[in-house]
A and B are shown apart, each in its own frame.
Chain A
Amino acid sequence: MNNKPDDLSHRRLHLLILVVSILLIFILISASIRDQHPLRPLEAMVVKATAPVFNLFHESVALVSRIWRGYIYLVGVQAENERLKLQAQESLSKEALYQETLLEKERLRQLLEFKNQAALPVTGARIIGFDFSIWFKCAFLDKGSNDGLKWGMPVINAAGVVGRVVQVYPEYAKVLLLIDRTSAVDAIVQRNRVRGILNGVGANRCFLRYIHKNQDVQVGDVILASGLGGVFPRGMVLGTVTAVDKKVPGLFQEVEVEPAADYTRLEEVLVVKTVQTVLSKP
């Protein structure tokens, strides 16, 4: 008999805690949807406190893998393989740039842009964590505002564009990946300069949108950044067309693009540091 009032007060307490929690969620959400929300320092503090664990893990994994690769598993072959892999990646990237230069050789200004692009100052960063849920796709870098990183800076690797910096902490930065559904990049088809918007769709795929059905886009076409968005320098490789569907209802065709960067194997990236300055030049 005595249990009943206890149970009731217990339930009331639970209900109270639940209501307080829901209120807390509303306060958090309403405070954080502003651009410069008051909880940013707290957020930075949490990241600063937890991110070293990611670093520690990466260091341990790197150490173990170095020991394995360096001493146990065919020292010479491994080093040679790494070098060749790097060379192949560089060649692919150079090939894309070469094609682009050929297509645009008559336009001197664009050539100059490419020259600028090649001379862009970049900083290397390591990816220490991912948010690869269904809803969002982002990565965490081990460099932040202390290393000169700023909001909007493009993040690339040898294969092409990875994403752009969307949040910067003193020692870390958050990168919105190209495959996130909130990501949109002004893009062109390298072969015929057809323009569209490259949208992420959450899975490891993007869609090139707003391409009219009478435009010629084929499987295998390389998609480049047009440079018009003001974030990614013109000519950077975004991906390759993997499927084209003109039977979908509406004015536009559905163009599926496989991103150039392999997101399941991302480790080191480059952050382009002065893109906005270069692009703002007339």
Chain B
Amino acid sequence: MVLFYLLLGFFLFFLQHLLPLPAPVRLDLLTLFLVFVTLRADFIVAVVLALLLGFVLDCYGLAPLGVQVALLLTAVVGTALVRRHFNFLYILPQIAGVAVIMLLQGLVMLGLLHLLLPVPVVYPTMVWQVLLQLSGTALSAPLVLGLFNLLEKAWRRWLLQKSVRTSLET
């Protein structure tokens, strides 16, 4: 399954970086992906994926290396913490949980940028953008997480069929 997560993670990374969508329209697919992996797979797998994808994201971004890693790691740790209070099996807790996780990410990012950049990072327009992206991503969470779930099921089915075919052949 690690291969599946790796492939899906990189696919989402490319998808997110190919389209110049303005910030509010742009869903944070990688955060949702890491929420999904943390919920479904082992915590360690999620952390390793966050480190790997975060580093690649950092290479393509303007922030110093490590900032995107910190952001994705926040998503993993946030999910691990939030899942105790929100039941991710249901739609409303999913939306609320993702909103909390993204809020945590926003706070971490603001803190890091405040420390690392020489210019002020908070503008009134930005608060609006953050809120729009947060609500957009949180509201789409049930749909996107459901889609990831379907893809994972399809992958498992394919693996099963492949192994059955191989065993029959041998």
Chain A residues with CB under 8 Å of B92's CB are none
Query: Are B18 and A25 in contact (CB-based, < 8 A)?
Result: no
The answer to whether B18 touches A54 (Cβ under 8 A) is: yes
Q: Does A174 contact B (CB under 8 A)?
A: yes
- The residues of B that contact A131 with a CB separation of less than 8 Å are 17, 60-62
Is A92 close to B, CB under 8 A? no
Residues of A within 8 A of B130 (CB): 134
In chain B, positions 112-134 with a C-beta closer than 8 Å to chain A are: 112-113, 116-117, 119, 121, 123, 125-126, 129-130, 133
Q: B20's contact among A136, A182, A203, A263, by CB below 8 Å, is which?
A: A263
Whether, in the assembled complex, B154 has its beta carbon less than 8 Å from a beta carbon of chain A, the answer is no
- Report which residue of A24, A25, A204 has the largest number of chain B beta carbons within 10 angstroms of its beta carbon: A25
A26 in contact (CB, < 8 A): yes
Question: Does any Cβ of B come within 8 Å of A166's Cβ?
Answer: yes
B14 and A57: CB pair below 8 A? yes
What's the Cα separation between A264 and B19 when bound, in Å? 8
Q: Is A46 an interface residue (CB 8 A)?
A: yes
The reply to whether B56 and A26 contact each other, CB–CB distance below 8 Å, is no
CB neighbours of B123 from chain A (8 A) = 181, 201-202
A228 interface hit (Cβ, 8 Å): no
| Cβ A135 vs Cβ B73 within 8 A | no
**Which of B63-71, B83-91, B141-149, B157-165 participates in binding chain A?**
B63-71
Residue ID in chain B nearest A43 by CB atoms: B59
Shortest distance from the beta carbon of A23 to any chain B beta carbon, whole Å: 11
Candidate in B22, B43, B62, B69 with the most chain A CB atoms within 10 angstroms: B62
What is the number of residues of chain A that contact chain B, defined by CB distance less than 8 Å?
Answer: 51
Q: Which residues of B contact A202 (CB under 8 A)?
A: 23, 123, 125-126, 129
Chain A residues with CB under 8 A of B10: 50
Cβ–Cβ contact B63 & A135, under 8 A: yes
Q: Which of A13, A26, A27, A29 has the most CB of B within 10 A?
A: A29
Digitize A43-57: 1 where CB-to-B-CB distance is under 8 Å, 0 elsewhere: 100110010011001
A24→B58 CA distance, assembly (Å): 14
Q: Which stretch of A31-39, A148-156, A235-243 is in the interface?
A: A31-39
Q: Considering only CB atoms, which chain A residue lies closest to B130 in the complex?
A: A134
A9 close to B (CB within 8 Å): no
Interface size grouping (class) on chain B = 35 or more
Question: In the complex, which residue of chain A has the Cβ closest to the Cβ of B67?
Answer: A29
Whether A133 is near chain B, meaning CB under 8 Å from some CB there, is: yes
Is the CB of B109 closer than 8 A to any CB of chain A?
yes
Q: Are A264 and B67 in contact (CB under 8 A)?
A: no
- In the bound assembly, the distance between CA atoms of A114 and B38 in angstroms comes to 58
B94 CB to closest chain A CB (Å) equals 22
Collect the chain A residues with CB atoms within 8 Å of residue B100's CB. none
B119 partner residues in chain A, CB cutoff 8 A: 181-182
A residues with a Cβ closer than 8 A to B are 13-14, 17-18, 21-22, 24-29, 31-33, 37, 39, 43, 46-47, 50, 53-54, 57, 129-140, 166, 174, 176, 180-182, 201-205, 263-266
18 contacts between A and B (CB under 8 A): A24-B66, A25-B66, A28-B55, A29-B64, A33-B64, A50-B56, A50-B60, A129-B18, A130-B17, A132-B19, A134-B126, A134-B129, A135-B63, A139-B20, A182-B62, A182-B117, A264-B21, A264-B22
- 4 closest pairs, A vs B, by CB? A28-B66, A32-B65, A29-B66, A136-B62
Contacts A24-B66, A28-B69, A133-B26 known; 12 new A-B pairs at CB < 8 A: A21-B51, A24-B51, A25-B70, A32-B66, A37-B65, A47-B59, A130-B17, A131-B17, A132-B26, A140-B60, A176-B62, A264-B20
Interface residues of B (CB under 8 A from A): 10, 14, 17-23, 26, 43-44, 47, 50-51, 55-56, 58-67, 69-70, 73, 77, 109, 112-113, 116-117, 119, 121, 123, 125-126, 129-130, 133
